[in-house]
Every structure is written in C-alpha cells, then in structure tokens.
Homo-oligomer: A and B are copies of this chain.
Amino acid sequence: MQDPFNAFSDVSVRIEGAANGPLAGLRFAAKDLFDVAGHVTGGGNPDWLASHPPAARTAPVIQALVDAGATLIGKTHTDELSRGIFGENAHYGTPVNPRAPNRVPGGSSSGSAVAVAASLVDFALGTDTGGSVRVPASFCGLYGIRPTHGRLKFDAVMAQAPSFDTIGWFSRDAELLIQVAQVLLGMKLERPILPRRLIVASDAFAVADPATAKALAPAVARLGDLIGNVAHRALSLAALDDWRRHQVALQGREAWETFSQWIDQRNPRFGFEVAEIFMRGASFNEAELDLAAKFRDQRRAELATLLDDGTVVCLPTTPFPAPLRGLTRSVMRGQRNSLLTLTCIAGLLGLPQLSMPLAELDGLPLGLSILAEAGADKMLLGLALAEATAR
C-alpha cells in the first residue's frame, strides 16, 4: 500500500472483518499502541519495538470491530509512547495532515487521524490520555471521541497513565462515530438526543485565541438554538491553568512509573522533548501529587453539581488550529500548555468528550467539543447526531 501521508507504522498488519455485521465492508486502522497477535506493538519508538516480543493476543476492541465486520488494514504512527500532542515523531517523521500539509496533524494518535482524514480508512482507533484523540480530531477536521474513563477496558493496549488512559476513535461523520460506539460501548442509539441544558464554558473559551473563539461562535450558536436552554458561564471556580498543572503532575508521574524501569534498563532514544516530558513527570514530589489529588477531588465535587443528568458543556477542542510543522521546542512548549489547558478538563475527571469538526479558521479545521458527566457518552453521541441531522 502506498502511504504518501506517512500515516502507517505497519501495513503488514491485517485482519479481515467478519462477513456479516454492522460494520461489514468498512476498513479501519489502529494506533500502534494496540496489540495485534503476532506483531510487536511499537509505540512510536524504535527501541521499544526492538526490545519487545510480538503480542500474544489481539486487543479486545480490535477483535470486537473485526467481529462486527470491519477489516483492520494497518497500524498507525503515534507520538513516542503516546507522549506528545503534536504528532511530530523524531524517529518516524510527522504524518501529513491532509487538511493542512505544512501543519502538524496533532497527536499522539497522529497516524490514525491522518488515515481517516485522508480517507485511507473509514475510521480508526486511537487512545486519549491527555488529549491524544481530541487534539488530532480538531487539527485534522474529524469527529473524535474520548469515552468516559474506564468505560472501555485498556486491555492489550500500551498503557501510559492508567488513571487517565482511554480508548477513542475517529471518523469523518457523526453516523459512523456512532456505529462504532454501538459496537464498542454496547449501546443502541437510534435517534438524536437533545440534552436538557447547554453550558457554554466561558473559562474554556477564554483560553482559545480570539480568532478561534470567533470562528467557533456560529457552531456554538447553532448548538444553543438546538438545545434551547443555554447558560454562558465558567465551568470551574478554579483557574484552568491550575487544572492543567495538577493534571500534568498526576499524569506525568504515572507515566514515569509506567515506563521508568524500561527506560532505566534500555536507555532508549527519544526526541529531546519526549525525554524532557518524561523527566518532568519524574520530578514531581509527593507533596505536589497530594495537592493535585486533592484538587482533583474538589473539581470532581464541583462538576458533579454542575453536570447533572442532562447537562452538556461546550468548549473549544483546541485553542487554535494546527500549528506549523517544525517549530522550535520553546514555541511548542507554550502551545502544548495552551492545548492541555483545554484537554485537561475531561482528562483530570475522566469525563467523556466528543469533538466535532464544525468550524474553520483561514481554511484550517477547528473542533467544537461537547463534554458531559461520567457515563453520559450516549448523550454526547446523540447530540452529535442531532447537530449533524439538523444541518
């Protein structure tokens, strides 16, 4: 298979879909964090690839999709060990964003997003720990969902930070996003769902560049018109910068614990920025982690009140469209912080979030996200369907 977009890490991985089933005839790809029996899961790092045996079994989510008729046609590039948000891999290069070839695709589920955006597959599996499905969905102009944490078991998938790791997927339209959800989440969604109330998160919109907020405004207005009951208000009493700071500490430390033994033994090659992110994770002390855990508890209580049954929050998926490729680390550091300031909300509390490709800025895609209480995945999918149907 030709791969002009550099989306795939391995196209020799193929599992034919069942002849019958709701996804029969569809093709999909999986991020190279998902195990496929007989193939080494590479995780975007050549030293990981070289130091691990082939997987013994296939990830249950892949098996479920295959059983439902979809054919797996390859594994896709990822940021190293899923530690990255831009999709620039120092070893394997940057998958090409079909919507903006001189810009990053977003990461870490970079190749999966690109494969879908380039129509090389119908849908693709990614993972989202701190934004790794939502950010590439926004940058590549796709639907992308991060379900409620724990809703899908992270089995036979390379973990990063277990308290935050989720399995997500991308599609080009709401209908297919929902078809996949029906298979993976074991739910039925036959018609649109309108939540009782929409909160437009003013604190989250304030994080976005003004031009991005403005570009998203018509889609927000449409969503408001659809639901009727709209409140513009801050999501949290705490600054979103603090959300991010504590999320980075908790996730970073967990990620370090996941990989530190292998790093110690192997001294692997990483792009400098990846090494820096790992070391930052290692640097948090117990006091900082305790504080972060308390902060998380407080936010959980705060949002439990706000996000009652039937409330949906909308927010920008990313504060800007895809940045240029090859920017300096110091510029990227600032941009990463801005991105995480939005993605950390669902990340810290394990909430479901769905990004919809509803806007553009200077021709570049922008995602509008909807977010709800834990377990409300179906409501988000139903609202996405309602929005798509209403257009």
**Cα distance A95–B283 when bound, in Å?**
33
Q: How far is the CB of A358 from chain B (nearest CB, A)?
A: 32
A271-B269, A276-B279 in contact; A264/B88 too (CB < 8 A)?
Answer: no
The residues of B that contact A272 with a CB separation of less than 8 Å are 263, 267-270, 275, 278
Identity of the chain B residue whose Cβ is nearest the Cβ of A46 in the assembled complex: B269
In the complex, the count of this chain's copies comes to: 2
Smallest CB separation, A257 vs chain B (Å): 15
Instruction: Tell me the bound Cα distance from A265 to B328 in angstroms.
Output: 4
Check if B273 sits within 8 Å of A270, measured CB to CB: no
**Residues of chain A in range 84-100 having any CB-CB distance to chain B below 8 Å:** 88, 90-91
Measured between alpha carbons, how far is A78 from B278 in the docked complex, in Å?
25
Q: A267–B271 contact, CB under 8 A?
A: yes
Residues A91 and B269 in contact in the complex (CB < 8 Å), given A263-B329, A329-B264, A330-B264: yes
Chain B residue numbers with a CB within 8 Å of A267 are: 88, 90, 271-273, 329
Task: Give the distance to chain B from A196, nearest Cβ to Cβ, in Å.
Answer: 46
Residues of B within 8 A of A268 (CB): 90, 271-272
Min C-beta distance of A62 to chain B, whole Å? 30
Number of contact residues on A: which range applies? 20 to 34
Q: Which residue in B270, B329, B330 is a CB contact (below 8 Å) of A270?
A: B270
Which positions 252-292 of chain A face chain B at CB distance < 8 Å?
263-265, 267-273, 275-276, 278-279
Which chain B residue shows the least CB distance to A273? B267
Nearest Cβ distance between residue A22 and chain B, in whole angstroms?
43
**Within the assembled complex, what's the spacing in Å between the Cα atoms of A330 and B266?**
11
> CA separation between A90 and B46, bound complex, in Å?
11
For the complex formed, measure the closest distance between the CB of A29 and the CB atoms of chain B, giving whole angstroms.
Answer: 25
Closest residue to A88 on the B side, CB-wise?
A: B267
Name the B residues within 8 Å of A265 (CB-CB). Answer: 328-329
Within 8 A of B (CB), among A308-351: 328-330
Partner of A328, one of B264, B269, B279: B264
A181 to B269, CA, bound (A): 38
| Assembled-state Cα–Cα distance A199/B278 (Å) | 46
Q: Report the minimal beta-carbon distance from A340 to chain B, rounded to whole angstroms.
A: 18
* Residue in A47, A265, A272, A276 with the greatest tally of chain B CB atoms within 10 Å: A272
**Quick one: given A276-B275, A279-B276, are A90 and B269 in contact (CB under 8 Å)?**
yes
Residue of B with least CB distance to A278: B272
> Cα distance A67–B139 when bound, in Å?
59
Chain A interface (Cβ within 8 Å of chain B)? Answer: 47, 88, 90-91, 263-265, 267-273, 275-276, 278-279, 328-330
The 7 closest A-B pairs by CB, nearest first: A275-B275, A264-B329, A264-B328, A90-B269, A269-B269, A267-B271, A267-B273
- Cβ contacts A to B, 11 pairs, < 8 Å: A47-B90, A90-B267, A90-B269, A265-B329, A267-B273, A269-B269, A269-B270, A270-B270, A270-B272, A270-B275, A272-B278
A267-B271, A269-B272 known; 18 new pairs, CB 8 Å cut-off, are: A88-B267, A90-B267, A90-B268, A263-B272, A263-B329, A264-B329, A264-B330, A265-B328, A265-B329, A267-B273, A268-B271, A268-B272, A269-B271, A270-B275, A272-B278, A275-B275, A276-B279, A279-B279
